[in-house]
A and B are shown apart, each in its own frame.
Chain A
Amino acid sequence: MDNVVIMGTGPAGLTAAIYAARADLRPLVVEGNAPGGQLIVSCEVENYPGFPDAVSGMELMGLFRKQAERFGARFVSGVVTSVKALAGGYVLTCGDEPIETRAIVVATGAMARRLPIASEAKYYGKGISGCATCDGAFYRNLDVIVVGGGNTAMEDAIFLTRFAKSVTIVHRRDYLRAAPVEVEKARGNPKIKWMIPRVIDEIIGEDLVTGVTLRKPDTNDTEHMDCDGIFVAIGHDPKTELFRDLIDCDSLGFVRIEPGSTRTSAAGVFACGDVADPHYKQAVIAAGTGCMAALDAQKYLEMNVK
């Protein structure tokens, strides 16, 4: 039986791996479908301490992983598809192999929200994208919309001005959640236009997106806007569907943890990073709570394993 399985290789999971490996727990780290986590799509992380000149998310997560490997963390590719309690621990399914473990660190992060419009799926890759850094170059000299009012939306809009003819930010409220420094950068960019407050009611197109119907939420007035692409940056939902029967989650799906710790309602299961963080959703917080989870798991193992 393993001592501890860490689910996830974002900043939370990899920091937990560094600490658990240094404590000689020989953690097994399951990568999930997105090795490196959400940050890998970010070209410039400017607020991670220790990198005064900014660092790409990919590079930063590569360094985290290297550090975890140096201390002996073991990595396995794949996704955990079930978690069940057994005497003295848990059994996880990952591919064909069951993995038995005494403790689990849940660092499964969050998943990007999709637009709540029926035709969205039809146009995915044909005008709709959830990843500006992946798909921005397909929109050279075209008109695109970025939906959202948070940091990711601002960052995506600024990034897309490298390729697109114009970038319009569409946001449902008349205020933005993004940090003032990000908003300033976007406001200062002559290629960026604003449609606030507006929601997208309809996506228009045949094979490819050609436009949208926008609605003003306060008056319900609608208008048509031509566009070739829509980049969706409307936030993330915690990835906890696997654990809903095992551990307590709040009404939004975030894992409930004991204040001041990473302990969940199930003995030996610890949660860290965005999966248990409805408020901050920052890499440095994820890394900090990843450290806490490894220390909590270490203490749990010391007290419970003879």
Chain B
Amino acid sequence: MLNTTLKHLEAEQELKDALDTHKNVMICCGRMGPMCLPVYAAMRDLRDEYSNVSFFDQDFDGPAASYIKNLPECAEFRGLPFTVYFRGGKAVVATTSIQTSEQVREILDREFDGK
């Protein structure tokens, strides 16, 4: 399990439920490495401000990660973490490797309304 203060999606059913029950979802699928930690930190820092978005993380080596790993949006990714933004259950943006708070914020502002 990832050692973060974000909500973890450990089972495939949890991931399905998250996508079914929340309109705007951001999931960061990674490990506890130097490329992933800044993305978790950005999510942690932004989650209060973006109450219209549900923020989750997921262990890249856990069984439930196969959903994100197999998304066509992530097919060419070669850098941890894989971060996917879902609207109404559909992946709308996916990023690979380290991202800054500003980059995350830019996507949240662009893709999700009702902040």
Contact = CB atoms under 8 A, between A and B. Distances in A.
A78 B41 contact: yes
A77 B34 CA distance: 15
Given A78-B41, A134-B80, A124 B33 contact: no
Contacts of A35: 37
Contact of A126 (B35, B38, B80, B96): B96
A134 B45 contact: no
Contacts of B80: 131, 134-135
B63 interface: no
Contacts of A149: none
Given A34-B34, A40-B33, A40-B34, A126 B77 contact: yes
Given A40-B33, A133-B33, A135-B79, A125 B41 contact: no
B5 interface: yes
B35 A131 contact: yes
A126 B44 contact: no
A139 B41 CA distance: 27
B8 interface: no
B98 interface: yes
B97 interface: yes
B37 A124 contact: no
A194 interface: no
B76 interface: yes
B78 A130 contact: no
B98 A41 contact: no
Interface in B66-114: 76-80, 95-98
B96 A125 contact: yes
Given A33-B38, A77-B5, A77-B44, A126 B33 contact: no
Q: Which of B5, B36, B77 lies at the interface centre, i.e. has the most chain A CB atoms within 10 A of its CB?
A: B77
* Residue of B35, B44, B96 with most chain A CB atoms under a 10 A cut-off: B35
A38 B34 CA distance: 8
A127 interface: yes
Contacts of B35: 129-131, 134-135
Nearest to A129: B79
Nearest to A127: B78
A135 B32 CA distance: 13
Interface in B12-31: 31
A229 B96 CA distance: 14
A207 interface: yes
Given A77-B5, A130-B98, A34 B37 contact: yes
Contacts of A207: 76
Contact of A125 (B33, B37, B44, B97): B97
A129 B45 contact: no
A203 to B, nearest CB: 14
Contact of B34 (A41, A79, A95, A208): A41
Nearest to A138: B78
Nearest to B96: A125
A38 B41 CA distance: 16
A127 B37 CA distance: 20
A121 B38 CA distance: 16
A126 B34 contact: no
Contacts of B37: 33-35
B45 A95 contact: yes
Given A77-B44, A95-B45, A125 B78 contact: yes
Nearest to A142: B78
Given A78-B41, A134-B79, 17 more contacts: A34-B34, A38-B34, A58-B32, A77-B5, A77-B44, A125-B78, A125-B95, A125-B97, A126-B77, A129-B79, A129-B97, A130-B98, A134-B33, A134-B35, A207-B76, A208-B76, A229-B78
6 tightest A-B CB contacts, nearest first = A125-B79, A125-B97, A125-B96, A138-B78, A134-B33, A33-B38
